[in-house]
A and B are shown apart, each in its own frame.
Chain A
Amino acid sequence: MIQRIVLVLFFAYLLLPITGVLHFTLLDGTRVTAAHYLQALGDGEFQAYIVHSLALAVATVAISVSLMTFTAFWVHMRAPALKPLLELLSFLPFVVPAVTLALGLIEIYSRPPLVLTGTASLLTFAYVVLALPFTYRAVENGLSAIDSRTLSEAAQSLGAGWWRRFITVIVPNLWPGIVSAALLTFSLVMGEFTLALFLVGSAYETYPLYLNEVWRSDPKYGAALAILSFLITWGSSVLILGASRRAPGQVQGAVLK
């Protein structure tokens, strides 16, 4: 009972500012209208840039989640003394201002042999770095909750090799952490503005860039696009969460009883 109250209050708080945007976009004076949302249907740019952002998000999730799951586990098993260093490194993206990071990346990667400026790849790699604190923390939280050493030794006693051990025993037990990491990374990419502006700009325009552009000249449509972005990200995370349930060999009971 009390759980339900907590969740309802929480949800009400999260919904509160959204009501303001809905109020702004659904009312023209005193007239109720869906025109600002329907505008997106005929907007080719909207569709193109949403696809760009989704593509970037998927690529970033794939790289960052696999990289951090592997690395966190590796350090946990083989070099636990390095954990503090790993943690410090994972917090660094918070202290470097986005503009500074962007300019630094442009300077370094505009020179041969590695000319990446203006490409989606550079942006993806930068996003992997930006997502570092969240993916590491999410995976690590999952890792610390299970006694992976025991699990690992148990599997080893059954004769499985290291990699096999990782894929079939550890990953399924880590699943909640991995899913959290994926969701956090996904929403980060869908909302990131500054790096996208500096590193690619119009070369691979992302949805937040487009939203900002529209915002300057047509705030109602821009706000509607923000709500649509909200809904699309939400829908995508529902898909991710749904797909994650159907993954084989999970210890599902641990997550959602």
Chain B
Amino acid sequence: MRHSPAEAQFAHRLRRVTRRELLRWTGAAGLGLASVARIGTGAEAAAMSGPMSMSALMAGAKKEGLQLHAYGMPPDWANWQGIFDAVKSKYGITSIYKPEGDLSSAQELQKFEAEKVHPIGDIGDVGFQWGQVAVQRGIVQPYKTSHWSSIPANLKDPDGYWVAEYSGVMSFAVNTARAKKIPQTWQDLLDPSYKNMVTIDQDPRQAFDAFAAVVSAAYANGGSIADVQPGIEFFAKLKKAGNFIPVKAELASMQTGEAGVAIRWTFLNLADRDTVKQKSGPAYQVVIPSDGSVASPYVSVINKWAPHPNAARLFQEYLFSDAGQLGLLQGYAVPVRMKELTVPASMAAKLPPASSFSKAVYLTDLKALAAAQQVVKDQWGPKVMG
């Protein structure tokens, strides 16, 4: 049976402190010195956490049967389908990811843990804060790809247990058939012409991008991640005005037109805008609000008990390579190694201007996130929903 949560937390904190201290003593910034950290920490998957050679990974993956089982990575999210297809053609690894793409971050981690005696899932994509949760509960194994050093320190776990792959920015997708004018700011949304139009991804107490919408509204109204109250009050105002409706902002509601203004991550809004247009639905225009937009990275984790760990590592190697990162960009996600990429002109033309991204506030402070989420949990029901 599993050991008590308290023990697990304690054991992991001890391991991490030891390694971090070692890194500090060696005067390194934790880049490429994983090998030093490995010395003296004893038996662990830490030995595997440094980048492995491609040949070793391929050999291992072949022994595993060239299969990869991914949770929480649906095909139409940040172009996962394109990336899985590329991994298949490059390494011959068949990925199973479609039905389980529906799992949320909490569900992915719970499923990894519940099935650990007879594990099925290998890799998952979870929200930023879930990386740490996964580490504390001892559910994931570390791996640092060969591109580890080019990823900023605050976007990865120092021991390699999780690493940010891409992020999105809060945006409005506006149904141009229903909305006569395009809102450019959060304040614009209060206009009566947007009656019964404004939607988010359901419940900010449950869906992260809905929560991010509330935080963005907070920034636009004098608040911040440390003070999300203005965001909650803004949505209460929006609801009272009759503009905010509790419809899920998703492809289906964009296609029916029920979501007059869909507030979600850019990579979801932009991709769905294209799909809707392709399927002769309403024309949507995607705008990043100028007065408040937050961004949050999503991180990749490998199941501690993964049956195909080498396939998972190979996947990560591809994902963080230029090709993989451009694949994410094709899905309109902002890849974590964006600054180092040479973006082909054709792709650059399809993205919103870089200036709109530059003002986005990155939500990477876990403590502040947790506190803000507690406020939303307590206040959203009574204040907004009534």
Contacts and interface: CB of A to CB of B under 8 A. Distances in A.
In the complex, A touching B, CB below 8 Å? yes
Interface of A: 24, 28-29, 99, 103-104, 106-107, 110-111, 115, 117-118, 197-198, 201-203, 205, 209-210, 212-213, 215-220, 222-223
B251 A216 contact: yes
B105 to A, nearest CB: 13
B251 A111 contact: no
Given A117-B115, A219-B252, A197 B275 contact: no
A197 B114 contact: no
A217 B251 contact: yes
B11 to A, nearest CB: 21
28 contacts: A28-B280, A29-B280, A103-B111, A110-B114, A110-B115, A110-B116, A110-B118, A111-B117, A111-B118, A115-B118, A117-B115, A117-B120, A118-B120, A197-B100, A202-B69, A202-B100, A205-B99, A210-B99, A213-B74, A213-B99, A213-B102, A216-B101, A217-B76, A218-B275, A218-B279, A219-B255, A219-B256, A220-B255
B320 to A, nearest CB: 25
A205 B97 CA distance: 12
Interface string B245-264: 00000111001100000000
A142 B255 CA distance: 46
Interface in B314-330: none
Contacts of B99: 197, 201-202, 205, 209-210, 212-213
Given A110-B114, A202-B100, A217-B75, 15 more contacts: A99-B107, A106-B115, A110-B116, A110-B117, A117-B118, A118-B118, A197-B99, A210-B99, A212-B99, A213-B102, A216-B250, A216-B251, A217-B76, A219-B256, A220-B279
Interface string B343-384: 000000000000000000000000000000000000000000
Interface residues of B, number: 28
Contacts of B75: 213, 216-217
Interface in B112-139: 114-118, 120
B96 interface: yes
B103 interface: yes
Contacts of B101: 213, 216
Contacts of A202: 69, 96, 98-100
B9 interface: no
A103 B251 contact: no
Nearest to A215: B252
Given A24-B256, A213-B98, A217-B275, A106 B103 contact: no
B110 interface: yes
A212 B103 CA distance: 12
Nearest to B253: A219
A220 B255 CA distance: 8
Nearest to B104: A99
A219 B120 contact: no
Q: Which 3 A-B pairs have the closest CB atoms?
A: A110-B118, A219-B252, A106-B114
Main secondary structure of the interface of A (DSSP, over half): helix
Contacts of A220: 255, 279
A124 to B, nearest CB: 18
A103 B110 contact: yes
A34 to B, nearest CB: 15
A192 to B, nearest CB: 13
B68 to A, nearest CB: 12
A216 B74 contact: yes
A222 B100 CA distance: 17
Interface string B218-252: 00000000000000000000000000000000111
Nearest to B96: A202
Which of A110, A118, A216, A223 has the most C-beta atoms of chain B within 10 angstroms of its own C-beta?
Answer: A216
Contacts of B102: 197, 212-213, 216
A14 B105 CA distance: 36
Contacts of B98: 202, 213
B309 to A, nearest CB: 18
Contacts of A210: 99
A205 B99 CA distance: 8
A115 B118 CA distance: 8
Interface in B62-94: 69, 74-76
A243 B293 CA distance: 61
Contacts of B100: 197, 201-202
Contacts of B114: 103-104, 106-107, 110
A210 B250 CA distance: 18
Nearest to A108: B114
A111 B279 CA distance: 47
B108 to A, nearest CB: 11
